[in-house]
Structure 1
Amino acid sequence: MVQAERTALAEDLESLTVEQWQHPTLCSQWDVEQVLAHLTAAASLNQWQWLRSILGARFRPDVHNQRRLAEHRGRTPAETLERFRAILDSTKAPSGHLAAYLGEVVVHAQDIRQPLGLPRRPSVEALTVVADFYAGRDFTVKSGTLAAGLQLRADDGSFAAGTGPMVTGSTLALVMGMAGRKPYLDELAGPGLPILRSRT
């Protein structure tokens, strides 16, 4: 599923203009090319490489991310895309939490697609794996904290988690909401939505 979602994103980016590569994303500090370089970096580090990098950054994730992004960004957007293509089949990850790294691809792909108006959506199967993981814990995002005390139910798949005031919507919107992406909250409904919105 990780490979499929990476491949779909690469296909979406093939025909971007120079202006689109520089377009802001839902990762407010990064443009499209920078998010893609970040994804390349994430697929290029095993546990020990990640540990050395985070130690070198003195446990500052932002410093670690920025250094690895710069390492994997090309001289041009085309080169950045080629570097991303080179890791489509990579099985490297900093830990065994594969659902989290599937989430990394799914969420960042939508961070790019949503502002550009690109219509492709990740598969519901992949999104359900990520949603189940996100609802249960904080890992790369504070998803468990955002979802705590809420009942989340997808209206297009099997995802269901939690107890409390209900929040419903597509699996994609629930994943992106748990990842803290505010624009997707507008696609959700239910009495628990004001709580989720206040936490985001």
Structure 2
Amino acid sequence: MTDLQSWVAPTYDGLADLLAAAPAGTWDAPSLCEKWSVRHVIAHVTMPARLTAEQFGAEMAAAGGNFTVLSDTVAARDASLPVADLLGQLRSPGLHAWQPPGGGAAGALTHAVIHSLDVTIALDRPAVAPAEALTAVLDQLAAADGTLFGVDLTDVRLEATDTAWSRGNGRLLRADSGALVALLSGRALPDGRILPRG
């Protein structure tokens, strides 16, 4: 089996390449993350490239131990960083090697893939994560039976239109692998599709 961490770098590098070639206004376009623009998502995912463990601890303390508050605060503040800096951080070997506390390589890949899709789906662009990475994340999310993001998979059959991946029984929901990852992550797609909350 391929090391899951090895797919993190191409995912972030692909996102950096896409954004480097995009018009400047792309950075202010809405993402799939509620209330976040593309630049907020990039500021969020690149946080490990900027903050030391001590700085992260101080940010967490200032947020009262609430990671959502910390994420919103840092994303709002650091979204104003120069685009060149954010692109450089997306390409940073430190970010590519980072693993979330307790999440390991699986958590690192899930974080990279989901947030890259928050950008690419919102911009109507192809996924930048390797196809194998999308399938690996689909497997992780499906194995958790919707509990990671609180979606209800009762009586739902998911089928990928771009691979042979499928899961479950019941009402059929077909979409490409990226869209299925987004749906299992509790995202509403631009076409209105959403999985109900559990």
| Structure 1 partner of 2:140 | 133
Task: Flag the 1:45–1:164 CA change in 2: closer, same or farther, 3 A.
Answer: farther
> Quick one: which amino acid aligns to residue 113 of structure 2?
V
Is the aligned partner of 1:102 residue 2:112? no
Q: Equivalent of 1:152, from 158, 161, 168?
A: 158
Uncovered stretches (5+) of structure 1, i.e. residues with no partner: 188-195
| CA–CA separation in structure 1 for the residues paired with 2:100 and 2:77 | 17
Say if 2:48 and 2:95, in contact at 8 Å, map to a contact too.
no
Distance change >3 Å, CA 11–CA 17, structure 1 → 2:
same
Could you say which residue in structure 2 is the equivalent of 1:14? 20
Deviates more, 1:167-176 or 1:147-156: 147-156
Secondary structure class of the residue paired with 2:158: strand
Write the letter of the residue equivalent to 1:67: T
Q: Report the Cα distance in structure 2 between the residues aligned to 1:110 and 1:179, rounded to whole angstroms.
A: 10
The DSSP-based 3-state class of the residue aligned with 2:31 is coil
Structure 2 portions without partners, runs of 5+? 1-6
Higher relative contact order (CA 8 A, sep 6+): 2
Work out whether residues 37 and 84 of structure 1, in 8 Å CA contact, stay in contact via their aligned partners in 2. Answer: no
1:35 CA displacement: 0.7
Q: TM-score, normalised by structure 1?
A: 0.75
Paired letter, 1:58: G
CA RMSD of aligned residues (A): 3.1
Tell me how far apart the structure 1 counterparts of residues 48 and 135 of structure 2 sit (CA, whole Å): 21
Amino acid of the structure 2 residue aligned with 1:154: A
Where do residues 1-200 of structure 1 align in structure 2 (5 Å cutoff)?
1-42=7-48, 53-69=59-75, 72-73=78-79, 75-86=81-92, 87-137=94-144, 138-139=147-148, 141-142=149-150, 145-183=151-189, 197-199=195-197
Tell me the TM-score normalized by structure 2.
0.76
Indicate the SS of the match to 1:151: strand
Distance 1:9 1:175 in 2: 17
Structure 1, residues 4-30: CA drift from partner, whole Å, max 9, x if none? 111111111112333211111111311
Alpha-carbon distance between aligned partners in 2 of 1:127 and 1:101, rounded to the nearest angstrom: 13
Which range moves more in the overlay, 112-121 or 2-11? 112-121
Query: Cα deviations across residues 154-183 of structure 1 (Å, max 9, x unaligned)?
Result: 233243333333323322221111112222
Q: CA separation of 1:73/1:92 partners in 2, compared to 1, >3 Å: closer, same or farther?
A: farther
CA distance in 2, matches of 1:111, 1:57: 24
- Count of residues in correspondence between the two structures: 189
